Amino acid sequence: MAAPKRRQCGTQQVHERLLEIYPAFRERQNRIEQGIRRDIERGVAQRVARQLITIPVVVHVVYKTAAENISDGQVKSQIVALNRDYGQKNADKSTIPAPWKGLAANPNIQFALAKKDPTGKQTTGITRTKTTRGSFGTGDSVKSKAGGGDPAWPADRYLNLWACTLGGGLLGYAQFPGGPARTDGVVILNTAFGTTGTVQKPFDLGRTATHEVGHWLNLHHIWGDRNDCGGTDYVTDTPNAQLPNYGKPTFPHVSCNNGPNGDMFMDYMDYVDDAAMVMFSAGQVVRMNATLAGPRKKIGR
Amino acid sequence: MTPIDPGALHQRWVHSHEEDRGGEQVFRPASHAFPPSRGRRALDLRPDGTYVESAPGPTDRPEEAGGTWKLAGGALELSASGGATQKLEVVSADPDRLVIRT
């Protein structure tokens, strides 16, 4: 019998199939990846890092019940949480294990609810849409009127966040740079949105948005989206890890021969509880800055 | 261990990661009341020998792939349509709880 081929998770197979079916998608992803490498080498990403970029945000609240129509206070608490984590002002960074304290970095990115809508009119940066749908899936229907949701504002000028009820117990999902503008942004379960109101433990510190906005800024999961240690997150200072970590792991959790320190499970791009994720690595910050210098260069400027 | 009845495996199993211990992963039927999660792996093992695996994708959206499955020597063998094979050691299999070792 032939030796079994390398293990492959479902995710990677589907991703590779999508890349085969849509050569344009592969081409665009490759171009973005090359651009990011070039901008990091030439120091463009580092120049962005020295500026404080404030990203205008629109929050689309889509609701059927009164409880799903989360308050302005709850929406604003999410912006505060994003600014805490993307400004490295989180007090719980004190829990970073000693070997990685020096590796945790400040993205120096801030967020503010939009003050002008796409037509130039004053706005609160919050839209409220009543829907007949009890819940939404991951097929992006929340991002269109026809789907019972609310359409995106222009993605080159705004970060679109949707707060709704998601089916299947999912907390949120995102879209990498380079995808269609009409679906660009982040969808978050309303009970994991912000830090007050209807939020529920253990996802009550606004970090589902921190994680999803990381994807929007082109960060990948620290386990590289394969279950065989063969994946990559395109960042060299996050140790190779086999699988997502959940809950509140105990340091160290070793996989993929990454001892003695193991998986960087306290990173925002793992799957742990809100209280257990506390840092971005220096490499991730460079990658986010390269994204703001490249595929998202218009936003906030 | 007691031989595993393949019939007991014919359902959609969802990773109940809250119950994992050590190197063992616990799966529950899809009807189980799962709390919210950033993502869960699921295995739909069908009586006709095919399976569909769902896992969190690179942006947390679940993605699916499939192939054929069989029980061989106390292990669940998943042969993906793409050619790769995964062997998952079955620790125990009950109608409401499947435990595998990775």
Contact B55 A11 (CB under 8 A): yes
pLDDT in tens, B27-72: 999 999 999 999 999 999 999 999 999 999 999 999 888 999 999 9
Contact A246 B34 (CB under 8 A): no
Active site residue A16: no
Distances (CA, A) of A154 to A56, A90, A291: 11, 30, 17
Interface test with B, best of A12, A15, A198, A207 (most B CBs within 10 A): A12
Q: A132: helix, coil or strand?
A: coil
pLDDT in tens, B87-98: 999 999 999 999
Contact A5 B34 (CB under 8 A): no
Residues 6+ apart with CB under 8 A from A130: A63, A64
Candidates B45, B35, B36, B33; CA nearest to B98 is B45
Q: What is the pTM of this model?
A: 0.93
Mean pLDDT for the stretch of residues A291-299? 94
Q: Which of A5, A176, A189 sits opposite B59 (nearest CB)?
A: A176
How far is Cα of residue A29 from the mean position of the Cα atoms in its chain?
17
Q: Which residue of B has its CA nearest to A248?
A: B18
What size, in residues, is chain B?
A: 102
In chain B, where the domains are located = 10-101
Tokens of B21: 């211990």
Q: Which residue of A has its CA nearest to B40?
A: A170
Q: What is the CATH number of domain B10-101?
A: 2.40.128.300
The ipTM estimated for the assembled molecules is 0.92
Statement: residue B82 has pLDDT above 90: no
pLDDT value of residue B1: 55
Q: Return the bridge partners of A61, or none.
A: A128, A163
Q: Which residue of A has its CA nearest to B38?
A: A171
Statement: residue B22 has pLDDT above 90: no
Q: Report the alpha-carbon distance of residue B32 to residue A301 in Å, rounded.
A: 48
Residues 6+ apart with CB under 8 A from B9: B45, B71, B76, B93, B98
